[in-house]
Structure 1
């Protein structure tokens, strides 16, 4: 055991030296960056993050008989692959409602936030560290290629990819290169062999998110995560149909306000249960699944009890311009 520890420390020192050398250079090529990605490097503790997460989930399972609320969910948030704290919130939710199909669907994903090609999205942690299957849909062919490269080499998913001659086969997760619209969403879901009741669906395409969710009928996810525009607070039930026409005078975080999402999702049989600490994403749980497990959250309460948003000055909140319309 001591010998393994010595070897590990030596590897860490070499890795640090390599990193410092690269950082001292003016530019780093993709080939030089790849060795920094620990997901492609074996060591004698390859699943340390997964082990910590599963131990944490085991403690949450002990509360299975109680009904938890949005404060507990937000306090459980942390980041592994997600942009913010969505990974932790989702693990807390699934610890409480249970994991069913362990199937995730994510519409809109990329590696833009990573210098070493790691998908920065909501489903990656579940796929890598918890053995989930899934479908990721993305318009950009370069981003699809980067995601395939990552999942084909990470030690948790590389076994589900192989090369036959000149053809690469990827079957877990499935990466679908497509422009998702309200008109084709059901066809894309059924054509990608998505199951009728996936555990999770995430929509973040920076455009027609609301209309895509509105037009979807092919599946009934147990949990849905969507991005909303927080600067309308709980005051405006509005959506933006054409984001390209929007003259951006603030850093926009979505094309639908939280009241608009809550109205649509309630019609579809979902309950608002939480928003994350950054105020970008909302978590909806199917009402039959949430009942007796997770308390419903009102839109007003989401803002009034938020540790950050509840204390902002009035000039932070905005009135929608003519690119938005009421729903």
Structure 2
């Protein structure tokens, strides 16, 4: 992330603090996430832990090569989980760096997720993690996310969900691409769903919008039964427009070396998931 981007993040945080003073986005920072998601995730899970017991588990669909995603930091913090990515090269990189795709703290799968394999993957991961009541579910495939998240929630009941939204269109615009199992993002504005559409989709399923990150890419929803630690702001108050220039890497070059240590220790101890 460029130095001027860091300064700009501070400006936007101050504006958020004025409009929504208890917004989890105020606690944003990144170690391995694209922008400020790592801090938002930690803040949200901390609040959830004040009203419910955590299982310290996660599932991330669209983990990339492990160097930039929403759950790498959780693994370093003692969580266990499952990664999926549709790019075989990304999965090969993870296997090369970690020495394995299956260990007590992390299970990684190569799969282009669609409505045919989505639920089987969720069932497999629920068994691996020993629960369907996972703490965190992150989903980012740049396309059919609205359909696949809805489908996944027939199998799992995460406490916190992070989804990518199309920040070009503020509420109340409702847009969702038609389902297409072979959809590939063309690096244009035709992808995913708008924030209003996500709220319309997830609210009937028992989830409430609690934050959007400052780059205007990711939205965070919590399950209604653990939402007591979050203020009830409107979608208009929480919406952040796309600021893609805020996305970038801070500090030293990312590696999987810290995670390799965690993986190796888990293999030495033989700790079983769940």
State the number of aligned residues: 216
Provide the TM-score with structure 1 as the length reference: 0.60
Task: Give the gaps of 5 or more residues in structure 2.
Answer: 1-19, 244-274
1:258 counterpart residue number: 195
Of structures 1 and 2, the one with the larger relative CO (CA 8 A, separation 6+) is 2
- 1:228 matched to 2:165? The reply is yes
Q: 1:169 to 1:279 in 2, by over 3 A?
A: closer
Deviations 1:125-179 (A, max 9, x none): 0002x11100001111211121233344xxxxxxxx6xxxxxx753421001112
1:294 counterpart residue number: 230
Residue 109 (structure 1) aligned to one of 63, 87, 91: 63
1:91 counterpart residue number: 42
Q: 1:223 to 1:102 in 2, by over 3 A?
A: same
Q: 1:209 to 1:94 in 2, by over 3 A?
A: same
Query: Greater shift after overlay, 70-79 or 229-238?
Result: 70-79
Task: Give the gaps of 5 or more residues in structure 1.
Answer: 1-68, 112-117, 153-160, 162-167, 311-327
* RMSD of Structure 2 on Structure 1 (CA): 2.6
1:284 counterpart residue number: 221
What is the CA–CA distance in structure 2 between the aligned matches of 1:301 and 1:101, rounded to whole Å? 31
Q: Confirm or deny: 8 A CA contact 1:79 1:85 kept in the other structure.
A: yes
Q: 1:132 to 1:211 in 2, by over 3 A?
A: same
Q: Confirm or deny: 8 A CA contact 2:177 2:190 kept in the other structure.
A: no
Three-state SS of the structure 1 residue aligned to 2:201 is helix
Q: 1:183 to 1:74 in 2, by over 3 A?
A: same
Three-state SS of the structure 2 residue aligned to 1:238 is coil
Provide the TM-score with structure 2 as the length reference: 0.71
- 1:132 matched to 2:79? The reply is yes
- 1:176 matched to 2:127? The reply is no
